Amino acid sequence: MKESHTLIFAETEEEPSGRARYQRQITILFGLLTNLYGRDKLIQKAKDYNALQLMRTGQPAQRLLALQRLAFEDESLGELPSEKDFPQILAEIEETIADLLARRAVEGQLEERVALKVQEQHERYLEDIKMQILKKETGVENAATLKKYAVLEKMEQVGLSVSAREVLRPRHLGELVGQAQALEALLTKIASPFPQHVILYGPPGVGKTTAARLSLAEAQKRRYTPFRQGAPFVEVDGTTLRWDPREITNPLLGSVHDPIYQGARRDFAEGGVPEPKLGLVSDAHGGVLFIDEIGEIDPMLQGKLLKVLEDKRVTFDSSYYDPDDPRVPKYIKKLFKEGAPADFILIGATTRSPEEINPAIRSRCAEVFFSPLTTGDIRKIVREAAERLGVRITRPAVELISASTIEARQAVNVLADAYGLTLQQRWEKGKSHVIGINQARRVLQMRRLSPLTAKASPRPEVGRAFGLGVNRFLGLVLEVEAAAFPALEEGQGRIRFNDTAGSMAKDSVFNAAAVIRRISGEEIGNYDLHVNVIGGAQVDGPSAGAVIFLALYSAIKNRALRQDVAVSGEISIQGRVKEVGGIPEKIYGARQAGMKKIILPRENKDHIPPDNGGVEVVLVDTVEEILEHVWAEEE
């Protein structure tokens, strides 16, 4: 290196010690520049900045000026520095050259790292090319995957016959028994140019799910509906849908699989790209989403479902998503930007009462009420199911099954079990396949079912009356009994009532006592009165007032009441019979219990269904009118 210096820089004569020191410093700095740029590049640089002649002189000031022009890259520097400024100028040049050397060192390291990275990418690229060639030639299959595929193909060759439920399920709306009014209401809401979201209310096993599926099939046949052929019917049970506050999974609405924790596709995971997964609301796009037991969905999830119903789209969000990332595919960008289509009709089914359903969901849905099935409906269902199975069933067997259940699904399952039992017994004895009462009774015993006993009786009784109540969508008969005894002390009588019936029923007892005193003149205080609701039934509403009045009045007057008459109505202390709710369900319960006559408030006239199954319905305004229809003497 010293030899190269001699070719560029002229040697100087011996100078005083101070100038010699400056010369040495200047020479060293020129050497650093030569190392930094190289000899040829430095000469070219000196020419560009008009510093070549200054470098070759022996004068320190001229050489220092050349060094300034090269270090600072400034040709305009023309004034020769004075010797007193040498130290400061040398210090500035040293600092500038030090920065240049440091920068060159860093750039050298970066160049090495870049070269290494380029080499790695090149090797990976070659590896990917090799794998693509291998896949193209041999595919993704190997011995293990091909073996599993062969096992699946073999399994496809084996199959059992369809299940009994598939055979016995109604295939068109005409086969759905006992729900003509509900089906008409459902079709007017679904098979329309402007279909509505619907909630189906009713007890279990009356055909709500089947009605929803068949209604969509019927709507597709009509040109004026928006449903296309092949419109999806997506069915899910609300009890299986749970709200995940972490948003990791949401089968109903869809979720985003992030590239780190949830196992997005490998190519997405390696690039840090989140992958949206569509949910059931998108699967149902253009069709029907049926949610059974919709009232069991988590409230938070219900709120999000309402948002989807309003927007008709599902939106996705992820902290991993970068819209400017070129590695994100188009469809993922579209999902994050616009969301996924979710334009469907919601049909929810529930066994709860309307008051128990989210008011926000109810406000967006039309409501259809399915009726409990009567004994006659169950008979028809059992006979038609037997025809589908291709088996004969005796009338006593039909009567026994229909008397033991009010659910179509349960009745059909009993029939299927009886059919299987018949096959087993007849096969052993070589007889024809006929389901008789013995097979039906045996299956009912195995299922722990017994005939529903009717409470109506032809024998009159004193102090025993029948009222009507509602449990969800099922009407039931309340049996109320009363006893009256002379008080131990005149005017000091007491009223006792079972607390399990509820506070509202207890209020009805005191109202009834006041009415009895008003219409009969009897001093209630002269009696110890005992009132009991058989079975400890809970009376939620005031409709038990009329039946409690009858039981107490019969006990005090010692007059026998008819046991085939049921009554429902709230009574005021003035003896008026006021409107009550649940009239269709109460009439159904009375029919099931074998009642011949039902006494209801006149204010409920418009609530009485057209078909009462042969039960006489009497409308009254006062308790005096009730008394005209309940005594045994009129028979």
State which amino acid sits at residue 245: P
Among residues 581, 564, 376, the alpha carbon closest in space to that of 471 is found at 581
Backbone φ/ψ region at 373: left (φ over 0), alpha (ψ -120 to 50), beta: beta
Q: Are 623 and 513 in contact (CB under 8 A)?
A: no
Q: Which residues contact 509 (CB under 8 A, 6 or more apart)?
A: 495, 497, 531, 548, 552
Long-range contact set of residues 65-72: C-beta below 8 Å, sequence gap at least 24: 67/26, 67/29, 67/30, 67/33, 67/93, 68/93, 70/33, 70/42, 70/45, 70/46, 71/29, 71/33, 71/96, 71/97, 72/96
Find the Cα–Cα–Cα–Cα dihedral 608, 614, 618, 623, rounded to 10°. Answer: -110
- The C-alpha atoms of residue 514 and residue 518 are separated, in whole angstroms, by 6
Q: Is 307 helix (H, G, I), strand (E, B) or coil?
A: helix
Catalytic choice (255, 371, 543, 554) = 543
Active site residue 586: yes
Q: Please report where in the chains the tokens 């090799």 appear, as a residue.
A: 130
DSSP letter (8 states) at residue 9: S
State which amino acid sits at residue 383: R
- The C-alpha atoms of residue 617 and residue 430 are separated, in whole angstroms, by 52
DSSP letter (8 states) at residue 75: T
Backbone φ/ψ region at 31: left (φ over 0), alpha (ψ -120 to 50), beta: alpha
Both tokens of residue 606? 């418009």
Q: Which residues contact 230 (CB under 8 A, 6 or more apart)?
A: none
Q: Are 196 and 337 in contact (CB under 8 A)?
A: no
- The C-alpha atoms of residue 365 and residue 350 are separated, in whole angstroms, by 13
- The C-alpha atoms of residue 186 and residue 174 are separated, in whole angstroms, by 14
Among residues 610, 583, 568, the alpha carbon closest in space to that of 473 is found at 583
Q: Is 461 helix (H, G, I), strand (E, B) or coil?
A: strand
Residue 74: CA count within 13 A, CB half-sphere: 10
Catalytic choice (586, 596, 597, 605) = 586
Catalytic residue positions? 543, 586
